[in-house]
Amino acid sequence: MRRKAFLFIPAIALAALSDDAFGQQLLGNHDIDEVVVRATKAADGTPMAISNVAADELEKSNFGQDVPYLISSTPSVIVTSDAGTGIGYTSLRVRGTGDNRINITVNGVPLNDSESQSVFWVNMPDFASSLEQVQIQRGVGTSTNGAGAFGATIGLQTQRPGMSPHFEIKTAGGSFDTFKATLRGGTGLLSDHFVFDGRYSLIRSGGYIDRAKADVSSYYASGTFYGGATMVRLLAFGSDECTNQAWNYVPSDSIAAGNRTYNSCGEYYADGRLNYYDQTDNYRQQHYHLSGTHTLGADAGISLTLHYTHGKGYYEDYKTNRKLSEYALDCAFDSRGDTVRRSDLVRRKWMDNDFYGGVLNFTYSAGRLDLAAGLSANNYDGDHFGRVIWVRNIADLRPDHEYYRNNGSKLDFNVFAKTTYALSEHWDGYVDLQYRGIRYKIDGDDDALKNMHIDRSFDFFNPKAGLTWHSGRHTAYASFATGHREPTRNNYTESADEHPTFETLLDYEAGYSCNTDRWNASVSLYYMDYRDQLVQTGRISEIGEALTSNVDDSYRMGIEVSAGVRIAGWLRWDGNVALSRNRIRNFTESVAAYDASYNDLAPIEVHYSGTDIAFSPAVCANSTFAAAAGGFEARLSTACVGRQYLDNSSCRSRSIDPYCVSNLIVGYSFRPSFISEIGLSCRITNIFDAEYETSGWVASYVVEGQSTVDNRTVEDGLAAQAGTAAMVSLTLKF
């Protein structure tokens, strides 16, 4: 086994005021909590397209679904769920780009997996219950730590320490045998210096899709020391998940036949069709952050965060009639003495990884100048290996036969400085400079038993600049930003190119907003110009992964309009619409070809001009009516998404139909004398029982004898979502 790295925590010197003076300062001033946040969060007036979702908004919508679903009403956001319910494996897209192209941080610490560059929300169940705010910066966004931002930057800010003692119990239950329980509490300020907060959550759901169960739990704990101008916080959060696989999605012909919940994962044949119920994904992940923050007078602050994340787990598959040689197994003899070269088997594909590093931030604000700077160095060390745990008709298989192993390591270094300067009474200038250096290595055998040796280094310079004009209730801005993104692990291991190159994005943004006491409105314009964007070619690998290739020239352009109005003292409406055009100027699709005996032939190339980028709808809109009177609250929200193409051919037969879905939340809270608050609420999702799909995949091929490539054979899977469903929640606050 590779020796794992350990994080050594240095001692931090603490400065303290007298208890009386400190207590008055602490309870009246939270500037010390803002040092870390200000370094990575976009402030009001930053020349970018920004949406903020506060803790109270998250809480009202939180019935156990993952964070993407709780921010889905913000502009240009689309969410999807393997299980069809928003619990388990979920993901989101912003402006058509998936979350492996979205930079996501927790208090400025990178959350994206270093190799896939994705965030697996199944490992963050009920994390919304520990959040103070979520900020979504669309486009490149401002400089921060971690993965390259090619569609958005999302900053998750955890809750501030509670200065008063509190305890809360929240339970919810409903459709698809879904159950959620959350315990949350805090000590309040102890001895004028210490605050402890914690949460534990348990969520279980049977899922809408067949055999798409989820059993997940998570915890959050923080201990904070305030000592005058210094704050030290130890933060730990983590999760344990076991979910049945549903990532094959539902074939379109099954949906057409009315079988919207069909799940092929774990399906096999042995004297009839059977299901393997241990076809599961299992993963445990723990995060640890140690932060020291010090305010340098009224104008400046500095913070250092040391972090460590460990993750380990596997997913288990039943494989039917496979060649034993594919799993580094010699042919064997069964009980009758016959030679066995093919057999059913069960495999487990493991990951065991460590991610650790440090993040240093500095902020300064005085007069006309507002400055933030950051420095971070992070290292990833991950083992990938596969084991065969059972083979039919072979009794002498050694336990946990290992058939492949490789290691991925990645060093990521980042430094940035960004400043806003008041040029005049109405004009602010913004400059943001970032350098990011990466070294990524893979060594060993992959799951196809192919030896890999990848050693690539990248040096990225990402400048950004903009102007903001503000006068009273009016604000306007224009900005330019550069982003770069290195290939992911799959871009190397499952690429149609032998050596995929990095991607470049030039992002042009402009916007205007007006805010009054009764209404608000804003408009954002963008043009995102890509060079060497990695897109799916249309072919899949031997193990079912979509092959990718760099395309020279592609772009996204659009307009995002948001508005809100208080119709009456008790009624408010908010909505947004995003209209976009997402194109690859010249695209060559590679279609697999076979002879009548299904032997490989040379792939067929099909050339397109001006095709739609996959999963990038031209229309995305949201509407929310919110009513509140006394302790009563109600919210009716509707999301509409235009046609999404499953590949880059703009072929209507390989696309997802447009859809609209509406959800209703009704709640009532009251404050009896014996408890702080009792809250009752009910959520009904998809109240009009729409049949819709939110994502999917497609693969196509031509068999000798088919007349044209347009008459190809198509295999696909669509992410069918649940019909009308209900959840009821009870909250007790002490």
Does residue 149 surpass a pLDDT of 70? yes
Predicted pLDDT at 713: 87
Least confidently predicted of 516-525, 566-575, 700-709: 700-709
Q: Is residue 62 assigned to a domain?
A: yes
Q: Is residue 1 assigned to a domain?
A: no
Q: What is the maximal distance between C-alpha atoms in the chain?
A: 91
Residue 695: φ, ψ to 5°: -160, -175
Q: How confident is the model at residue 337 (pLDDT cuts 50, 70, 90)?
A: low
The alpha carbon dihedral of 236, 242, 248, 254 has a sign of negative
Q: How confident is the model at residue 497 (pLDDT cuts 50, 70, 90)?
A: low
CB 215 within 8 A of CB 52: no
Instruction: Pick 637 or 10 by higher pLDDT.
Output: 637
Does residue 29 surpass a pLDDT of 80? no
C-alpha to C-alpha distances, 454 to 139, 432, 445, 730, nearest whole angstrom: 30, 32, 11, 53
Q: Which two tokens stand for residue 93?
A: 């897209």
How many structural domains is the chain composed of? 1
Cα-Cα-Cα-Cα torsion 192, 196, 197, 201, nearest 10 degrees, comes to -160
Alpha helices in 389-510 (DSSP H): 489-493
Q: Report the CATH number that the domain containing residue 76 is assigned in CATH.
A: 2.40.170.20
Q: Is residue 383 assigned to a domain?
A: yes
How many whole angstroms from its chain centre is CA 123?
Answer: 10
Predicted pLDDT at 589: 86
pLDDT tens readout for residues 600-652: 888 888 999 999 999 999 999 999 999 999 999 999 999 999 999 999 999 99
From the list 503, 649, 645, the residue with the least C-alpha distance to 590 is: 649
CB 169 within 8 A of CB 186: no
CB 356 within 8 A of CB 5: yes
Q: Is residue 378 assigned to a domain?
A: yes
What's the distance, Cα to Cα, between the start and end of the chain in Å?
49
What is the C-alpha to C-alpha distance for residues 685 and 662, in angstroms, rounded to an integer?
7
Does residue 6 surpass a pLDDT of 80? no
What is the C-alpha to C-alpha distance for residues 722 and 212, in angstroms, rounded to an integer?
12
CB 561 within 8 A of CB 610: no
What is the C-alpha to C-alpha distance for residues 202 and 217, in angstroms, rounded to an integer?
4
Instruction: Pick 560 or 19 by higher pLDDT.
Output: 560
Predicted pLDDT at 395: 66
Does residue 82 surpass a pLDDT of 70? yes
Predicted pLDDT at 341: 85
Q: Is residue 191 assigned to a domain?
A: yes
Q: How confident is the model at residue 7 (pLDDT cuts 50, 70, 90)?
A: very low
Does residue 22 surpass a pLDDT of 60? no
What is the C-alpha to C-alpha distance for residues 268 and 284, in angstroms, rounded to an integer?
28
Containing domain of residue 94, as a range?
19-507+516-733
Does residue 13 surpass a pLDDT of 50? no
C-alpha to C-alpha distances, 731 to 81, 163, 196, 505, 728, nearest whole angstrom: 26, 21, 21, 45, 10
DSSP state at residue 516: -
pLDDT tens readout for residues 581-595: 999 999 888 888 898
pLDDT tens readout for residues 98-136: 989 999 999 999 999 999 999 999 999 999 999 999 999
Q: Is residue 11 assigned to a domain?
A: no
pTM of the model: 0.93
CB 25 within 8 A of CB 228: yes
Q: For a pLDDT cut of 70, what percent of the chain falls above it?
A: 92
pLDDT tens readout for residues 230-274: 999 999 999 999 999 999 999 999 999 999 999 999 999 877 889
Give the pairing type, strands 693-703 and 571-594.
Answer: parallel
Q: Which two tokens stand for residue 42?
A: 């976009």
Q: Which two tokens stand for residue 192?
A: 């004028």
What is the average pLDDT across 34-59? 86
Q: Which two tokens stand for residue 353?
A: 């990884």
What is the average pLDDT across 701-716? 83
Q: Is residue 3 assigned to a domain?
A: no
Predicted pLDDT at 2: 41
Predicted pLDDT at 334: 62
Q: Which two tokens stand for residue 456?
A: 């690539």
Instruction: Pick 339 or 266 by higher pLDDT.
Output: 266
| Average pLDDT for the chain | 90
What is the C-alpha to C-alpha distance for residues 303 and 627, in angstroms, rounded to an integer?
41
For residue 81, list its beta bridge partners: 90
Predicted pLDDT at 33: 66
Beta strand ranges found along 245-368 (DSSP E): 267-269, 273-275, 280-296, 300-323, 332-333, 339-340, 342-366
What is the C-alpha to C-alpha distance for residues 150 and 148, in angstroms, rounded to an integer?
6
What is the average pLDDT across 516-533? 95
Q: Which two tokens stand for residue 245?
A: 């696989």
Q: Which residues contact 288 (CB under 8 A, 6 or more apart)?
A: 7, 234, 235, 236, 307, 308, 309
